[in-house]
Structure 1
Amino acid sequence: MATSLDALTPALPGRREVIDTAAGRVGFYASSEAEGVPLLLIHSINAAANAYEVRPLYLHAQGARPVYALDLPGFGFSERSRRLYDPRLMVDAIHAVAAEIAGRHGGVRVDAIAVSLSATYLARAVVERPEVYRAIGLISPTGFDRRLAGRGPAGGDRGSPRVRRIVDSAVLGPALFALLVSRPSMRFFLRKTFGSKRIDEGLFAYDHLSAHQPGARHAPYCFVAGYLFPTDATTLYEALTLPVLMLHGSRGDFVDFRDAPRFAGRPNWTIRALPTGAFPHFEDPATVTGAFDAFFAGLA
């Protein structure tokens, strides 16, 4: 069942569109008047995720090349119905929007950038449909630490039915989510992400608005219960053969990239650490956008 999101203002400029997909109704932002290889941007996964998380990248690309930003299922303007949210659902949404973009631009291969946990979904999308993509960027990708790296069952997840039943119960669910997305809680987790008290206040404000829309708790509870974490992240990254630029921060709670050196030696991978938190594109947009501009320009 779809939910009404009439109170949610747009996170980004440009056209806001919604298409029907195998993952339900999926929303995305589009600014496609410029010429060039289209760029798809994919936000991270958390209790209040949405396309605002890629805003600095979107604004930089706007007018220079066609740029699109996806709201993954359960977030932003995409469908937020009560259902199981898992990696397969997220990958299907990426497949649908990437195919839509490629079709609008004469079948050209697209570039894509994903943040944090969504990097694993983008990696699977590329592995499953390599003909759709030219190159990808990963910002603070999940799966390079000891806890979430893995070569487990293909397509598996780390979900716990028991945890989901507890957090998603009719009695406890709404109260728990209200606490999770309260202003103090959200500020606390953003500070952990940025590794500093100097968070982006625009992101904080929009996250709070988005997290208080109908159906907002359903996808985050699958996240809390582990269903959105794949078991085969390492296998997916190892299977990538197209050019990859990976940027990650070195400050805050999400800076364990101990497995990155193994990938740095691969000819198609470029990895760069920055003195920022997990969202370097907010803290140092000039360096991040400059790195991606040079990376993509070098493919021409």
Structure 2
Amino acid sequence: MSVSSTETLETSKTGRAYTRSNLANPVAGTRTDITTKVGRLATYSLGFAANEDNVRPLLLVHSVNAAGSAFEIKTLYDHYAKYRPVHAVDLPGFGQSDRDDREYTARIMTDAVHAAIARVQEVHGPQPIDVIGLSLSCEFVARAAAENPGAFNTLGLISPTGFEGKARDERVPTTRGQSWLLGTLRFKLWDSGFFKLLTAKPVIRKFLEKAWGSKNIDESMLEYDYHTTHQPGARYAPYYFVSGFMFSKDILTIYESLRLPVWMAHGTRGDFVDYRHKSRVAGRSNWTIVKFDAGALMHFEILDQVVKSYDQFLALS
């Protein structure tokens, strides 16, 4: 993958000029930058033509970590583009979207999901769509579904957060954000230096090995993760992530409130296997929960099994 650090001037859908390093797009297809209340978002689309609007579109939303981007859902994106309209988005602070020095919270990420859905419906009409979130973005897509259920046909959750540790079942939408930790991370003496250490290639590799539960990671993801974390402003959103501002204290309450068909898939390997609270939704008629012998990014390991399960779920929904 050829990635240059040369900065270029680009133009958004609204004609606003902005500077962005020449990072390769994380997925193929048409990129459209949209201006929203949470900033400029890069969206991607593939697998549809003007005469195919009768096919229900699919929106894929990547996870949040130090190196998040739509590359994390690339295998699903490429697969489903052969059969249906597929869309993806870089969340605020990641990928090709704006990486301004601003607050990055669960509310902002949820609003970005709403904006991405609106973009899909602008292309295909106001029909309900299928949405899949990955890891922490499952919290954002679930909240978006609770707030605007009419926009969703089904909801897919891959390796969702919110079922681990102490139950996050408060009734008010607060986060686990810790301002003291954010202030420590943002202290000028080590602000940039700490992020450089966090995003060194060996560190990124170690994180991916923990997610996979194996050393057999996807090497192309490692390369993209390294390049995307070395773009201007790359540290701002991850610091809010590490400080807890994207983790909602009421997410179990949100999950329990969902009435649409939900497909949840999780693995059994790696560091992300704590789903002790899934009993709160398991057995509900609208929830389908499947488990795979894989890591958190199972769609890079066993794509055929994952899409077979998801397609069976859609056929019954």
Band of TM-score, shorter chain = over 0.9
Whichever residue aligns with residue 115 of structure 1, its letter is L
| Structure 2 residue corresponding to 1:40, chosen from 56, 59, 62 | 59
Kept in 1: contact 2:256–2:280 (CA 8 A): no
Whichever residue aligns with residue 37 of structure 2, its letter is A
| Structure 1 residue corresponding to 2:28, chosen from 3, 6, 13 | 13
What is the CA–CA distance in structure 1 between the aligned matches of 2:33 and 2:315, rounded to whole Å? Answer: 30
Cα offsets for 1:135-168 (capped at 9, x unmatched): 0110000011123x31225221111111111101
What is the CA–CA distance in structure 2 between the aligned matches of 1:153 and 1:269, rounded to whole Å? Answer: 21
Residue 39 (structure 2) pairs with residue 24 (structure 1):
yes
The aligned counterpart of 1:255 is 273
TM-score computed with the length of structure 2 as normaliser: 0.91
Q: Percent identity?
A: 45
Equivalent residue of 1:296, what SS? helix
Whichever residue aligns with residue 220 of structure 1, its letter is P
Equivalent residue of 1:227, what SS? coil
| Structure 1 residue corresponding to 2:123, chosen from 104, 108, 115 | 104
Kept in 2: contact 1:244–1:268 (CA 8 A): yes
The aligned counterpart of 2:219 is 201
RMSD over aligned CA atoms reads 1.4
Shift of 1:96: 0.8
The aligned counterpart of 2:96 is 77
Range 40-49 or range 5-14, more displaced? 5-14
TM-score computed with the length of structure 1 as normaliser: 0.96
Q: How many residues are aligned here?
A: 298
What is the CA–CA distance in structure 2 between the aligned matches of 1:18 and 1:155, rounded to whole Å? Answer: 29
Cα offsets for 1:207-228 (capped at 9, x unmatched): 1110100000000000111111
Matches within 5 A, 1:1-300: 4-33=19-48, 35=52, 36-147=55-166, 149-299=167-317
Kept in 2: contact 1:3–1:79 (CA 8 A): no
Query: Unpaired segments of 5 or more residues in structure 1?
Result: none
Kept in 2: contact 1:155–1:231 (CA 8 A): yes
Cα offsets for 1:86-124 (capped at 9, x unmatched): 000001111011012112212111100000011010010
Whichever residue aligns with residue 106 of structure 2, its letter is P
Kept in 2: contact 1:3–1:214 (CA 8 A): no
Shift of 1:63: 2.8
Kept in 2: contact 1:3–1:80 (CA 8 A): no
